[in-house]
């Protein structure tokens, strides 16, 4: 790593080290991984003042660079946020080790006993933007699943991420695990990202964490498989048979609890028969809560709405805005979601089992919900512990990506001298 | 499909039709898929004479083209082989439908009930060489898992594959399923293959079936994910604690039962302490069975062996040849396999649990065996019914790829008005 000028050579060296570490990690004892994560948590807490000071340098850099207040907020670390990082590391430490788990096993008449056993995936590349806590979260989850990881954080969090990374490596050392298990790209040069996306020999999966710009770039350019979602264009369909009380609670929560997360509702589809009743009530409540409702022609006469344009369908506002539209029935909702959705999370509010079943079988979002707030689209709320992200692709991992989704499997076949006839 | 000159436009049309059919197939009733496959089996049997006549044209073309006897044998269809195709279709018809299966489900304290449900992958592209039966096998497995498929067979089997494909489409029509569920590329032009490998919008996975040339090309050039194995460089390690009787049976079966399949043993690693005893007996038995044993320096004094060269390590003979080498212990075997193996299938013969455990945890082949013949590396022998191939990658599918491995999943989340705090 001496020659920072030669990015491809530097990245190839990082990749080769990661591959070697992954080979060792594949059979690392569970308790060593747990010890490493707890020791890393201790180190982060012990060095919190240093980390906060480094973060101040990052914040100054970010302000000079003209980062938005929202971006600066994501970048900022204080003692409370460092407590959060420490708690996250300890929570992953306490999770069950997925590696070695027997997923399923069975006997064959030939006398063979066959087991499908969980194994690490190998080497994960994580490319992220300003949040320095991703350094700890992603490093911890990858290690838990026995994977080596190459972290490439945003230039904004360079100093704070660097110190958190040092703490993770201190944890690895304390547990006798290879330090190369968690590496960090030691340059702000963007060429390093381009290299990572093409390193199919050294990286098994890339996980991008950040805005649409970053994720779109990774999805377009990567030769390495990617676990990601580009957007969460989350729809809620309020069916004719919706329970009004549940609908009111769920719609308000799904839109307004937090608007900046990928599970926030972005489009409300309302059964035509509800236009003057529950539908109007829902829109009035959203308006009263401060939401700008971009309504289609049929709903635009409702007070407080603004007329929707073509751009409002399939739009991810991530703000106090929602599109709203009347549809004829569940099939109308399905057709709209197929056209404008992003296969992330979509919900139906109904007491009608047949309508729910139709919605579930005819749509193919990673997460489909009934009578529940789409804000539950989250690894923690699914009981997976931490998540490294949410994936909308259909290959390998889908929905919240936790430690278990960062694994593969192999078959163990036991015989007693069995031969094939 | 009128403009055969414009291959990209033709392939895009095939792709769009496949995507539309996949959307319908995703919720096709199980019994419709079963009826389609049984009706296809009926049609193949009813049209067997026509198929055999078409195959005669293919065989003539193949002979003119100078195909090897082995290739011509793979291409050839007679009534017995057509019986095999019919039986294969009926067997897949009789399998359980994987789509809709609840893989796992659980409750959360928030009141949510979460189900992980199996769904089709989408559109599968199958690129294969001369065997016309792949048309039926691949078409049937993809349909069973609710996937649309685009079949691109070798030019040698053009006429016989075309007729089998017509029978599959007749089955789809009889069951009221979209004919575009099973499409076949209607040209011999190789540009169609290049298009398929890049059609990421229309094809979710490519499965290549054929020799190393074809599979290597697909792995190098594809932008679409690939389920495949390039080679089966299958090792058997005979440990110091091997049972001599089991070892003799297993080694002979693994090498000689069928030499042309990917699970055939290609390299024998023998514990140093067995050189004069069991190791020598095994090699003598292989030589007596007609196997050319390419022995390392330490074993080359054994009668009937030929000296191994560097090229013999990591070589897939697919013939009556095997490489043989002494190793110091299980770690020596592991080191050799890591260096020369292909992550397909590797076996240890031992009565020592610790040695077996070390072999299983430190190697990462898709299939690892103990005291069993590597010729069991096969979807049928794993109880999966038919297989579309064996994959050595770590993403999504691994080992034998049957109908279940051609699926993805989605989460169904059920609430009763649950909102997130």
Q: Which of B411, B412, B409 is nearest to B146 (CA)?
A: B409
Whether the per-residue pLDDT at B1 is higher than 70: the answer is no
In a domain, B298, yes or no: yes
pLDDT category, A5, cuts 50, 70, 90? Answer: confident
- Of the residues A353, A401, A417, the best mutation for testing chain B's interface (the one with the most B CB atoms within 10 Å of its CB) is A417
d(CA A358, CA A333): 11
Q: Does A81 touch chain B (CB under 8 A)?
A: no
Chain A residues with CB inside 8 Å of B368's CB? 410-413
pLDDT category, A3, cuts 50, 70, 90? Answer: low
Whether the per-residue pLDDT at A10 is higher than 50: the answer is yes
The answer to whether B214 and B205 have CB atoms below 8 angstroms apart is: no
Q: Does A366 touch chain B (CB under 8 A)?
A: yes
pLDDT category, B3, cuts 50, 70, 90? Answer: low
Minimum Cα–Cα distance from B100: chain A residue = A361
Other Cβ atoms less than 10 A from the Cβ of A354: the count is 10
Q: Percent of chain A, pLDDT > 90?
A: 93
Whether the per-residue pLDDT at B370 is higher than 90: the answer is yes
Mean pLDDT value across chain B: 95
Same domain for A371 and A307? yes
- Strands (DSSP E) contained in B303-383 are 306-307, 321-327, 345-349, 367-372
Residues in B 293-352 with any Cβ partner in A closer than 8 A: 338
- DSSP lists the bridge partners of residue B268 as B236, B324
- Nearest residue, CB atoms, A362 vs list B27, B110, B408: B27
Chain B residues with CB inside 8 Å of A122's CB? 394
Q: Does B121 touch chain A (CB under 8 A)?
A: yes
Q: Which of A102, A115, A99, A101 is nearest to B369 (CA)?
A: A115
Give mean pLDDT, residues A250-263: 96
Give mean pLDDT, residues B356-370: 97
- Of the residues A412, A416, A421, the best mutation for testing chain B's interface (the one with the most B CB atoms within 10 Å of its CB) is A412
Q: Which of A261, A259, A281 is nearest to A270 (CA)?
A: A281
The answer to whether B350 and B364 have CB atoms below 8 angstroms apart is: no
In a domain, B21, yes or no: yes
Verify whether the Cβ–Cβ distance A249 to B381 is below 8 Å: no
Verify whether the Cβ–Cβ distance A396 to B396 is below 8 Å: yes
Give mean pLDDT, residues A203-227: 94
User: Which H/E stretch holds residue A38?
Assistant: helix A30-46
Predicted confidence (pLDDT) per residue in B102-116, tens digit: 999 999 999 999 999
CA distance B231 to chain A (A): 17
Q: Distances in Å between the alpha carbon of B296 and those of A266, A372, B112, B282, B293?
A: 67, 66, 62, 15, 9
In a domain, B341, yes or no: yes
Verify whether the Cβ–Cβ distance B253 to A410 is below 8 Å: no
Same domain for A221 and A350? no
Same domain for A359 and A409? no
Q: Does A102 touch chain B (CB under 8 A)?
A: no
Give mean pLDDT, residues A209-221: 93
Minimum Cα–Cα distance from B414: chain A residue = A370
Give mean pLDDT, residues A73-93: 95
Q: Does B244 touch chain A (CB under 8 A)?
A: no
Give mean pLDDT, residues A139-143: 97
d(CA B77, CA B408): 35
CA distance A29 to chain B (A): 11
Verify whether the Cβ–Cβ distance B381 to A420 is below 8 Å: yes
**What is the pLDDT, as a whole number, of residue A199?**
96
Same domain for A212 and A252? no
Verify whether the Cβ–Cβ distance B370 to A408 is below 8 Å: no
In a domain, A181, yes or no: yes
Q: Does B101 touch chain A (CB under 8 A)?
A: no
Q: Distances in Å between the alpha carbon of A71 and those of A48, A133, A264?
A: 21, 14, 19
CA distance B69 to chain A (A): 25
Q: Distances in Å between the alpha carbon of B309 and those of B296, B306, B317, B325?
A: 8, 9, 14, 11
- Nearest residue, CB atoms, A394 vs list B257, B408, B415: B408
Verify whether the Cβ–Cβ distance B369 to A249 is below 8 Å: no
- Strands (DSSP E) contained in B255-392 are 265-271, 292-295, 306-307, 321-327, 345-349, 367-372, 389-391
Chain B residues with CB inside 8 Å of A372's CB? 112, 413-415, 417-419
Same domain for A109 and A167? yes
Domain limits at A31?
7-227+397-413
Number of folded domains that form chain B:
2
Give mean pLDDT, residues B198-222: 94
Mean pLDDT value across chain A: 95
- Nearest residue, CB atoms, A395 vs list B100, B112, B225: B225
Other Cβ atoms less than 10 A from the Cβ of B264: the count is 26
In a domain, A419, yes or no: no
**What is the pLDDT, as a whole number, of residue A385?**
80
Whether the per-residue pLDDT at B2 is higher than 60: the answer is no
In a domain, B1, yes or no: no
Whether the per-residue pLDDT at A285 is higher than 80: the answer is yes
Give mean pLDDT, residues B297-321: 96
The answer to whether A132 and A394 have CB atoms below 8 angstroms apart is: no
Contacts of A179 (CB under 8 A, 6+ apart): A21, A169, A172, A173
Verify whether the Cβ–Cβ distance A414 to B369 is below 8 Å: yes
Same domain for B185 and B257? no
Whether the per-residue pLDDT at B245 is higher than 80: the answer is yes
Q: Distances in Å between the alpha carbon of B372 and those of A344, B246, B358?
A: 44, 8, 17
d(CA A298, CA A302): 9
**What is this model's ipTM?**
0.95
Give mean pLDDT, residues B256-260: 95
Same domain for A68 and A216? yes
How buried is residue A173: exposed, middle or buried, by Cβ count under 10 Å (0-12/13-18/19+)?
A: middle
User: Would you give the DSSP letter of residue B108?
Assistant: -
Same domain for A274 and A162? no
d(CA A344, CA A236): 12
d(CA B88, CA B100): 23
Contacts of B230 (CB under 8 A, 6+ apart): B212, B215, B216, B219, B342, B392
**CATH code of the domain containing A208:** 3.40.605.10
Give mean pLDDT, residues A190-211: 95
DSSP A6-29: -HHHHHHHHHHHHHHHHHHHTT--
pLDDT category, B234, cuts 50, 70, 90? Answer: very high
**What is the pLDDT, as a whole number, of residue A20?**
97
Same domain for B375 and B406? no
CA distance B347 to chain A (A): 9
Q: Does B45 touch chain A (CB under 8 A)?
A: no
**CATH code of the domain containing B359:** 3.40.309.10
**What is the pLDDT, as a whole number, of residue B132?**
92
d(CA B161, CA B254): 32
Reduced to 3 DSSP states, what percent helix, strand and coil does chain B have, rounded to the nearest 5? 45, 20, 35
Chain A residues with CB inside 8 Å of B371's CB? 414-418
- Nearest residue, CB atoms, A420 vs list B375, B395, B418: B375
d(CA B169, CA B415): 42
Same domain for B134 and B221? yes
Chain B residues with CB inside 8 Å of A367's CB? 410-411, 413
Residues in B 382-411 with any Cβ partner in A closer than 8 A: 382-383, 394-396, 398-399, 408-411
**What is the pLDDT, as a whole number, of residue A70?**
84
Verify whether the Cβ–Cβ distance B411 to A245 is below 8 Å: no
Same domain for A214 and A246? no
The b-or-e profile of B226-243 (16+ CB within 10 A means b, else e) is: bbbbbbbbbbbbbbbbbb
d(CA A162, CA A132): 9
Same domain for B161 and B22? yes
- Nearest residue, CB atoms, A27 vs list B362, B370, B417: B362
Verify whether the Cβ–Cβ distance B100 to A361 is below 8 Å: yes
Whether the per-residue pLDDT at B33 is higher than 50: the answer is yes
Per the listing, tokens 């996975």 go with B205
Q: Does A375 touch chain B (CB under 8 A)?
A: yes
In a domain, B16, yes or no: yes
- Nearest residue, CB atoms, A399 vs list B122, B395, B411: B411
In a domain, A392, yes or no: no
d(CA A170, CA A93): 15
CA distance B241 to chain A (A): 14
């Amino acid at each position: 790593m001496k020659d920072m000028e030669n990015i491809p050579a530097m990245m190839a060296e990082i990749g080769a080290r990661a591959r070697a570490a992954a080979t060792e990690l594949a059979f690392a004892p569970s308790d060593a991984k747990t010890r490493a994560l707890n020791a890393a948590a201790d180190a982060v807490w012990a060095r919190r003042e240093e980390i906060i000071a480094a973060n101040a340098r990052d914040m100054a850099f970010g302000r000079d660079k003209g980062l938005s207040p929202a971006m600066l907020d994501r970048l900022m670390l204080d003692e409370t946020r460092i407590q959060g990082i420490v708690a996250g590391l300890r929570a992953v430490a306490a999770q069950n080790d997925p590696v070695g788990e027997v997923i399923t096993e069975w006997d064959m008449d030939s006398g063979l006993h066959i087991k499908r056993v969980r194994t690490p995936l190998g080497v994960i590349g994580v490319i992220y933007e300003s949040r320095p806590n991703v350094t700890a979260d992603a490093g911890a989850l990858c290690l838990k699943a026995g994977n080596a990881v190459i972290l490439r954080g945003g230039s904004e969090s360079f100093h704070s991420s660097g110190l958190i990374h040092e703490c993770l490596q201190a944890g690895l050392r304390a547990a006798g695990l290879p330090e190369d298990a968690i590496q960090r790209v030691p340059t702000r040069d963007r060429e390093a990202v381009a290299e990572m996306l093409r390193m199919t020999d050294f990286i098994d999966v890339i996980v991008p964490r950040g805005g649409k710009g970053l994720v779109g770039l990774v999805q377009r350019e990567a030769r390495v498989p990617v676990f990601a979602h580009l957007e969460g264009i989350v729809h809620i369909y309020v069916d004719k048979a919706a329970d009004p009380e549940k609908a009111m609670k769920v719609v308000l929560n799904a839109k307004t609890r937090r608007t900046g997360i990928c599970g926030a509702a972005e489009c409300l589809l309302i059964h035509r028969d509800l236009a003057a009743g529950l539908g109007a009530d829902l829109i009035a409540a959203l308006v009263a809560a401060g939401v700008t409702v971009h309504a289609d022609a049929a709903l635009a006469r409702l007070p407080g709405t603004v007329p929707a344009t073509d751009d409002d369908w399939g739009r991810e506002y991530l703000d106090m805005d929602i599109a709203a539209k009347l549809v004829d029935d569940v099939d109308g909702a399905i057709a709209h979601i197929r056209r404008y959705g992003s296969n992330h999370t979509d919900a139906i509010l109904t007491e009608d089992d047949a309508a729910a079943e139709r919605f579930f079988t005819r749509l193919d979002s990673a997460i489909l919900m009934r009578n529940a707030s789409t804000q539950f689209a989250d690894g923690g709320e699914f009981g997976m512990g931490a998540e490294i992200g949410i994936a909308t692709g259909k290959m390998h991992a889908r929905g919240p990506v936790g430690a278990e989704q960062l694994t593969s499997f192999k078959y163990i076949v036991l015989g007693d001298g069995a031969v094939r006839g």
